[in-house]
C-alpha cells in the first residue's frame, strides 16, 4: 500500500523543533554555542550538560524557558546517569542526544604516555559511548529518538603536517584523530543496532573551525584557507544547520551518516 500523501504542513514544519528536548554536552564550547543557537532558533528545549554552571552563565546568561543547565561530568558514568535522571524529572523524556564534549591530554605524537593516550581516546569516543548507553532507556521508553555524535575531519584524514610547521602548538595529536575515527564507526555500529527500534544515530564531522585565539595567528589561518576549496575557514554558525537537520523530522530517514562540514578539505 502506498504511503499517505504528505500535507503542506509537514514541509512547512519539518525543521520545527518545538516538540524536541535535546541533551547537549559541550554546550558552551566554540562550536557548542552555535549548536545551541541553531536549536533554540527552531524551538527546541536544550539541556546543556557540563561541569561549570559559572561558565554556562558567562556564556549564555541566566537559564531561559528553553535553555537549562545540569551538572554532568561525561567522564563518570554515575554523573551521566544522575544528570539524565534529573533532566527527565525536570523536563520530561529526551528526544535527541548530541555528544559534543571532548577532553584530552598530551600532544607530542611520538612521546605520549600510556595514560595520556588512553585519556584522549576516552575523551573523543569513550565519553560519547557512555552517554549513548545511558540515554537508551529513555529513548526506548518513548519508542524513538535521535543521537548525534561529533567527530572531526581528522577522523577521515591525517593532518597535513606542513600546515603546522610554524605552529606546532595547534597540531592535533594522534589520539584525537584515532578517537574521532572510532566515533564515526561507533555511529555506524549503533545506527545498525538501533535502527529496528526507531532510534537514529548520525555523526557530524567539522573541518577547520579555529577558535578566535587560534585565528590570531594569521599565518596559520592562511595555511588552513589555502587547503580549503571554499577558500575560508569555518565560522561556528556554518555547522549549526547540520544539527538542526539531524535533530528534526527532515532527517527521519537518515541514519548511520557522517555529515562532513569542512568547506571541502577532505575531498582532495
Selecting among 154, 176, 189, 193, the annotated active-site residue is 176
Among candidates 35, 27, 31, 40, which has minimal Cα distance to 74?
27
- Contacts (Cβ under 8 Å, ≥6 apart) of 205: 150, 151, 152, 153, 155, 156, 180, 184, 258, 259, 260, 261, 262
Q: Which residue has the cell 574521532?
A: 180
Per the listing, cell 529526551 goes with 94
Alpha-carbon span 15 to 69, nearest angstrom: 24
174-192 burial, b if ≥16 CB within 10 A, otherwise e?
A: bbbbbbbbbbbebbbebbe
Q: What angle do CA 259, 262, 268 make, to 5 degrees?
A: 105
Q: What does the block give as the cell for 202?
A: 548520525
CA dist 145 and 8 (Å) reads 24
Residues 174, 158: contact at Cβ < 8 Å? no
* Alpha-helix runs per DSSP H in 75-113: 77-91
176 assigned to active site = yes
Q: Cell 610554524 belongs to which residue? A: 166
Looking at the annotation, which residues are catalytic? 176
Amino acid at each position: 500500500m502506498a504511503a499517505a500523501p504528505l500535507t503542506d504542513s509537514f514541509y512547512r514544519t519539518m525543521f520545527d523543533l518545538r516538540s524536541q528536548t535535546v541533551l547537549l554536552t559541550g554546550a558552551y564550547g566554540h562550536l557548542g554555542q552555535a549548536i545551541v543557537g541553531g536549536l533554540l532558533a527552531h524551538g527546541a528545549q536544550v539541556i546543556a550538560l557540563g561541569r561549570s554552571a559559572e561558565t554556562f552563565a558567562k556564556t549564555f546568561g541566566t537559564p531561559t524557558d528553553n535553555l537549562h543547565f545540569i551538572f554532568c561530568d561525561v567522564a563518570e558514568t554515575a554523573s551521566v546517569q544522575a544528570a539524565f535522571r534529573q533532566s527527565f524529572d525536570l523536563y520530561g523524556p529526551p528526544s535527541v542526544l548530541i555528544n559534543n564534549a571532548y577532553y584530552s591530554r598530551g600532544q607530542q605524537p611520538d612521546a605520549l604516555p600510556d595514560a595520556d593516550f588512553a585519556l584522549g581516546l576516552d575523551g573523543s569516543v569513550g565519553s560519547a559511548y557512555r552517554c549513548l548507553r545511558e540515554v537508551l532507556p529513555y529513548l526506548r521508553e518513548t519508542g524513538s529518538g535521535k543521537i548525534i555524535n561529533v567527530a572531526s575531519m581528522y577522523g577521515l584524514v591525517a593532518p597535513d603536517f606542513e600546515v603546522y610547521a610554524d605552529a606546532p602548538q595547534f597540531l592535533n595529536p594522534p589520539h584525537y584523530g584515532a578517537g574521532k575515527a572510532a566515533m564515526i564507526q561507533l555511529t555506524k555500529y549503533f545506527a545498525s543496532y538501533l535502527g529496528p527500534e526507531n532510534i537514529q544515530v548520525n555523526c557530524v564531522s567539522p573541518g577547520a573551525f579555529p577558535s578566535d585565539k587560534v585565528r590570531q595567528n594569521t599565518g596559520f589561518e592562511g595555511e588552513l584557507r589555502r587547503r580549503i576549496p571554499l577558500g575560508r575557514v569555518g565560522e561556528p554558525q556554518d555547522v549549526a544547520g547540520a544539527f538542526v537537520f539531524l535533530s528534526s523530522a527532515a532527517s527521519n530517514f537518515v541514519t548511520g551518516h557522517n555529515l562532513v562540514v569542512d568547506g571541502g578539505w577532505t575531498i582532495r
